[in-house]
Structure 1
Amino acid sequence: MKPAAARRPLLLCALAAAAALSFLLVAPPPPLAAHLSTLLLTFPASPYAPRPKLLFLLAGQSNMAGRGIAPSPLPPPFRPHPRVLRLAASRRWVVAAPPLHADIDTHKACGLGPAMPFAHRLLRESGGDSSLVLGLVPSAVGGTRIWMWARGEPLYEAAVARARAALGAGGGTLGAVLWFQGESDTIELDDATAYGGRMERLVNDLRADLGIPDLLVIQVGLASGEGNYTDIVREAQKNIKLPNVILVDAIGLPLRDDQLHLSTEAHLRLGDMLGQAYLKFNSSTDSRQ
């Protein structure tokens, strides 16, 4: 057992995380985004920040940023853990606490998404390995179309810059890109039919610009869409012809009343599904080596 002095930083982080979550559950909705941005920017740095991390770039639109409503009490897979960190907009490593995108997707009030349950699934499967530190890199922005994620566009360049900063801030390995986007590309037929080619270019550009030619990309198959061409985008997602691009299908997961955003229950299930997909991919990769 560690001495009390060594445990004190972790205890302080846990208490800070609990305080942050209690704020999230009682804060009034209208000024939520402003309050959360201020809260997260002042969130204490983690004692694990200097440690090498297994990194995950979170990209896409609102369902990745998170629109799930926080119940009380918060389910354990959404709660902070000392070894699950988040790269804040200020590029500081802090203890991850939902909403992860509050200081990234600042035009809407963010809520619960799939990334925290994903991280908790990986921790559970680590067999109590205390050396595993996870670094989540939020980069998703609601209401965005895939052409807005093309190389040279602000969203793409910001995501690449944040991924590079994460790799440089304490070191580590980029385990995967978690991509959940496409609902906005179901509105116009031209966008829907162009989706597959744009997604393949995005993957190739990310791999080239990050210098990781075999980078794993886990894309979420749409559960909903804003327009009439959801099936076309879903087919494009299923038919990406690049190696190390896998699909986790969200179809059938429960939606909120707007019939567009996933419910809290859905995010719990999706995060677990994403974790299973990542672990299965790495297990099969290891068996081939």
Structure 2
Amino acid sequence: MRAVGLVPCAVGGTAIKEWARGEELYENMVRRAKESVKDGGEIKGLLWFQGESDTSTQIEANAYRGNMEKLIENVREDLGLPSLPIIQVAIASGLDDNYMEKVREAQLNINLPNVACVDAKGLDLNEDHLHLTTESQVKLGNMLADAYLKHFAASP
């Protein structure tokens, strides 16, 4: 069995524009990813669960798809992995229900090679109606693993 490592780069409450190339969050993510493979490791995929903060205005919600597609293009280029598998989570909640569906629509309809989407809608939320319960986080983790194995794992 091979070891699998994760390189967590999450920062809560951030909008997609804060993950643009040149921004601190993006540059830290790329730096950490490169550091993780310097001793012979291999990056096998990117898991992306973000978007609740982009539901606060119509402008941000409308810009989400283009911003996400640009992020995918940039991260693949900066890591030298043009076909890097990416699994995005379609959000289950948002700051403003009026724009949540617009962001979800963007997430569910990204049409780039080697990009899959897992839908978190319907998973249980905490009392804050924004964050997933612990049980739902575990369920989502299993959904992400299943999606990776279905879409990106090499056949035996």
Q: Match of 2:149, as an amino acid?
A: L
Query: Map of 1:1-289 to 2, 5 A cutoff?
Result: 129=1, 132-168=2-38, 170-227=39-96, 228-283=98-153, 286=155
8 Å contact from structure 2 (residues 92, 119) kept in 1: yes
TM-score of the aligned structures, taking structure 1 as reference length: 0.53
CA–CA separation in structure 2 for the residues paired with 1:185 and 1:241: 20
TM-score (normalised: structure 2): 0.96
Q: Deviation at 1:286?
A: 3.7
Q: CA deviation at 1:282?
A: 2.6
Identity %: 54
Question: Post-superposition shift, 1:146?
Answer: 0.2
> Within 2, Cα distance between the matches of 1:222 and 1:182?
7
Amino acid in the other structure paired with 1:241: N
Distance in structure 2 (CA, Å) of the matches to 1:216 and 1:226: 28
Give me the whole-angstrom Cα distance separating, in 1, the residues matched to 2:138 and 2:151: 20
- Tell me the distance in 1 between the aligned counterparts of 2:138 and 2:7: 19
Deviation at 1:279, TM superposition (A): 0.7
Distance in 2 separating the partners of 1:171 and 1:229? 43
Aligned partner letter, 2:13: G
Give 3-state SS (helix, strand or coil) of 2:112's partner.
coil
- One-letter amino acid of the structure 2 residue matched with residue 219 of structure 1: Q
Q: Aligned with 1:212: secondary structure?
A: coil
Deviation by residue 1:111-155 (Cα, 9 ceiling, x = unmatched): xxxxxxxxxxxxxxxxxx2xx111110101011000000000000
Gapped runs of 5+ residues in structure 2? none
The CA RMSD over aligned residues, in Å, is 1.1
Deviations 1:242-286 (A, max 9, x none): 110100000000000000000011011000000000111134x54
Instruction: Determine if contact 2:108/2:117 at 8 Å carries over to the other structure.
Output: yes
Which structure has the highest strand share of the two?
1
Larger Rg: 1
Measure, in 2, the Cα distance between the counterparts of 1:260 and 1:196: 21
- Measured in 2, the distance between the counterparts of 1:190 and 1:184 equals 12
Whether the 8 Å CA contact 2:85–2:152 is kept in 1: the answer is: no
